[in-house]
Chain A
Amino acid sequence: MIPSTSSAFIALIKRDLMLSYRHRNELLNPLLFFVIVVTLFPLGTSPEKQLLQTMAPGVIWVAALLAAMLSLDSLFKSDYEDGTLEQMMLSHHSNAVLVLAKIISHWLVTGVPIILMAPLLGLFMFMPIEGIKTLMLTLLLGTPILSLVGAIGMGLTLGLNRGGMLLSLLVLPLYIPVLIFSANAVDASLAGMDIKGQLYFLGALLVLSITLAPIATATALKISVE
């Protein structure tokens, strides 16, 4: 009997979560990177509270952006190297659905820790509680977009020798809208303003990227696998 696509979807998520649990120390690296980058800013500028507070939303979000981009490396790489990815592409299930499953499980193990780590960094940067709440909310809406859009870039650069630098060149310009709306939402909430507009934009971007990014990624992967 051929399993249905939805059961394949769930099985793939379970498998990927299990695999990342077995290699859980690898997951720490992007997270440490996130913390270290934010720590560099007070050292590079000044520990002055006023200055750090104004910079905080931008700095934390840029660091999250870079951490999310670096974590993409683990998205398809091992499956590509041992041939699993090729088998997935050959299966009769929709490739886009399988790709979405991989992105979701990847976000669960890389995006969610970033969200959970954010309050600590908010404290480092003297952010008030209200700002930290908004920061986590924007990260909750924003990091899945980063994973989805980044997956396209990863799919395109998968088979290349020096894909890492190229990936940043491809992906970072596409991250700009997320950065703008998120950092601005945190800024606005610190000023006590309404942030519904920014959150709606992020939500719209999320919906758009969930619908289109898996298709583009699946097409890109097909080229890389061939």
Chain B
Amino acid sequence: MKLPAIVHKYSSPKNFYTMSGKMVPWFAWGFGLTLVFGLYYGFFIAPTDYQQGESYRIMFVHVPAAWMSMFIYMVMAVSGAVGLIWRIKTADLMASASAPIGAAFTFIALVTGSLWGKPMWGTYWVWDARLTSELILLFLYLGFIALQASIEDPRNAARAGAILAIVGVVNIPIIHYSVEWWSTLHQGATVSKMDKPSIHIDMLIPLLVMAVSFKLYYATSVLMRARGEILLREQNSRWVKEIVENEGKALVGGAK
């Protein structure tokens, strides 16, 4: 299957660099505003939970972080596949720039989950299905990062990483359901009190706002990482030299 020429045109490193440069401030501002709004709503307006008291409020960080951890892996695998099939450099960049962010969100989800577990379960760690699959997801991220770090040639690193991410995506549902099945066999219904059949609207709004906020943070941060990487990789091309010269001049001019 051939991609239309316009995709190639807009995904060229130079175009990607200029376009993403315009997008980053919007994402960053959006992130800041939604973060303040979501946290304020979640911490001060949302009602206290009748069962879990105030401690449930960590959910407004925990749940969006857990969503992001899976979302970013999907993005990584899809952009990896796009890079592998159509040889689009920027797609490769997006995949490798996403990995550390995804790993960080997974880590946040694990830490907040275990902090939440202390008042709820009495211990920081239980072999709960969702915590365990998050842990395995973290291993998958770390494997991806380690693989890319150990291959020197950036193109080969991108292709190898893409294959690993695709294999991971096929495996994630299998791992997830096998862990779920394993955990239902080994423990009782201690976890099910986390499963709320319905959620109060004042809890749902901050949750969704925080989810949007984290997505915007991801967009900001992944684009900034990819932009840095583009400059590094294309450092010998003319347009990068021009940018460096112009910005250097602007800096010197500003100093005067």
Contacts and interface: CB of A to CB of B under 8 A. Distances in A.
Interface of A: 152, 156-157, 160-163, 166, 169-170, 172-174, 176-177, 180-181, 184, 201, 205, 212, 216, 219-220, 223-224, 226
B181 interface: yes
Contact of B175 (A156, A173, A224, A226): A173
A223 B182 contact: no
B230 to A, nearest CB: 22
Interface stretch (B88-96, B156-164, B205-213): B156-164
Contacts of B170: 212
B139 A169 contact: yes
Given A166-B147, A216-B167, 9 more contacts: A152-B163, A156-B147, A160-B150, A170-B147, A174-B167, A176-B136, A177-B174, A180-B178, A212-B170
A224 to B, nearest CB: 8
A205 B181 CA distance: 15
B163 A219 contact: yes
A170 B143 contact: yes
Interface of B: 84, 136, 139-140, 142-143, 146-147, 150-151, 156, 159-160, 163-164, 166-168, 170-171, 174-175, 178-179, 181-182, 185
A166 B150 contact: yes
Given A156-B160, A212-B170, A216-B163, A176 B150 contact: no
A75 to B, nearest CB: 16
B150 A205 contact: no
SS of A interface (majority) = helix
Contacts of A166: 143, 146-147, 150
A181 B178 contact: yes
B140 A173 contact: yes
Contacts of B151: 160
A169 B146 contact: yes
Given A156-B160, A157-B147, A169 B142 contact: yes
A220 B182 CA distance: 31
18 contacts: A156-B147, A156-B163, A156-B164, A157-B150, A161-B150, A170-B143, A170-B147, A172-B139, A173-B140, A173-B171, A174-B167, A177-B171, A177-B174, A180-B178, A184-B185, A216-B163, A223-B160, A226-B156
A95 B151 CA distance: 23
Contacts of B168: 174
Contacts of A223: 156, 159-160, 163
A160 to B, nearest CB: 5
Contacts of B167: 152, 174, 216
Contacts of B175: 173-174, 176-177
A72 B140 CA distance: 19
A177 B179 CA distance: 7
A164 B70 CA distance: 28
B149 to A, nearest CB: 9
Contacts of A220: 160, 163
B168 to A, nearest CB: 8
Given A216-B163, A223-B160, A180 B179 contact: yes
Nearest to B156: A223
Given A177-B174, A177-B175, A184 B182 contact: yes
Given A173-B140, A177-B175, A223-B160, A216 B146 contact: no
Nearest to B176: A177
A177 B163 contact: no
Contacts of A163: 150
Residue in B139, B167, B174 with the greatest tally of chain A CB atoms within 10 Å = B167
A88 B206 CA distance: 57
